[in-house]
């Protein structure tokens, strides 16, 4: 699997283009503000076919331009159903005033725990990891030993749990059950900041 990381938006959100190099089919994981045009250009440059847009959770810094990218490419948007309410009315659920308008995002496909996303010959397992939001998910490639963690797990930290829909106990339990159960050599691609590994977090993350 070929992975291109992109940092975009006012909160320096990390989003990703993941591509099957054999078939050229791709998915995009999260679409922050100012991200749609960048991601669209990358997809065109690589001459890949976008199969879907996957949202790790529904906070605006990860989802604001998912609808725009969907319109540009025709690719459906997928998320966990527990987070859809925030995507339908994003402005109502922002905790502070934003200097730009948030457009609703239409979800075409629901993703639940243990679902498998396929694009070309690549597969990603969905793991429901509530705690940052009710419907937060991580995506796991068992073949490439990669986890897309959204805002669930960061290097030496974890996602915020003090926002609406967050819960500290649920978040830590999600990480222990769904992420730390993976082997140490899994690379973690986070929703903000640099990447890490499961082994490094097991030893160095102060929350565990």
Where along the chain do its domains lie?
Answer: 2-204
How far, in Å, CA of 201 to CA of 125, rounded? 21
Q: How far apart are CA 58 and CA 48, in angstroms?
A: 26
The CA distance from 133 to 129, in Å, is 9
* Beta strand pairing call for 146-150 and 187-190: parallel
CB atoms within 10 A of CB 22: 9
Give the number of other CB atoms < 10 A from CB of residue 105: 25
* Assigned token pair, 5: 């990381």
Structure tokens at 198: 């499961």
Write out the chain in H/E/C secondary structure.
CEEEEEEECCCCEEEEEEECCCCCEEEEECCCCCCHHHHHHHHHHCCCEEEEEECCCCCHHHHCCHHHHHHHHCCCEEECHHHHHHHHCHHHHCCCCCCCCCCCCCCCEECCCCCEEEECCEEEEEEECCCCCCCCEEEEECCCCEEEEECCEECCEECCCCCCCCCHHHHHHHHHHHHCCCCCCCEEEECECCCEEHHHHHHHCCCC
pLDDT given for residue 102 in this prediction: 81
Mention every residue, 6+ apart, whose C-beta is less than 8 A from residue 84: 58, 107, 110, 135
pLDDT tens for the chain, 208 residues: list them. 999 999 999 999 999 999 999 999 999 999 999 999 999 999 999 999 999 999 999 999 999 999 999 999 999 999 999 999 999 987 666 666 666 778 899 999 999 999 999 999 999 999 999 999 999 999 999 999 999 999 999 999 999 999 889 999 999 999 999 999 999 999 999 999 999 999 999 999 999 8
CATH code, 2-204: 3.60.15.10
pTM higher than 0.85: yes
């Amino acid at each position: 699997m070929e992975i291109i990381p992109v940092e975009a938006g006012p909160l320096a959100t990390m989003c990703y283009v993941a591509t099957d190099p054999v078939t050229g089919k791709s998915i995009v994981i999260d679409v922050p503000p100012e991200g749609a045009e960048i991601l669209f250009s990358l997809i065109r440059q690589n001459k890949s076919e976008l199969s879907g847009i996957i949202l790790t959770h529904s906070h605006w810094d990860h989802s604001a331009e998912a609808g725009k990218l969907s319109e540009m490419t025709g690719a459906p948007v997928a998320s966990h159903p527990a987070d859809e309410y925030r995507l339908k009315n994003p402005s109502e659920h922002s905790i502070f005033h934003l200097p730009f308008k948030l457009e609703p995002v239409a979800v075409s496909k629901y993703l639940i725990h243990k679902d498998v996303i396929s694009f070309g010959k690549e597969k990603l397992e969905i793991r429901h990891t509530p705690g940052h939001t009710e419907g937060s998910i991580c995506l796991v490639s068992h073949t490439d030993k990669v986890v897309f963690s959204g805002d669930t797990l960061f290097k030496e930290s974890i996602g915020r749990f003090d926002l609406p829909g967050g819960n500290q106990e649920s978040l830590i339990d999600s990480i222990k059950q769904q992420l730390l159960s993976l082997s140490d050599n899994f690379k973690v691609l986070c929703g903000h900041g640099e990447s890490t590994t499961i082994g490094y977090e097991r030893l160095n993350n102060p929350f565990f």
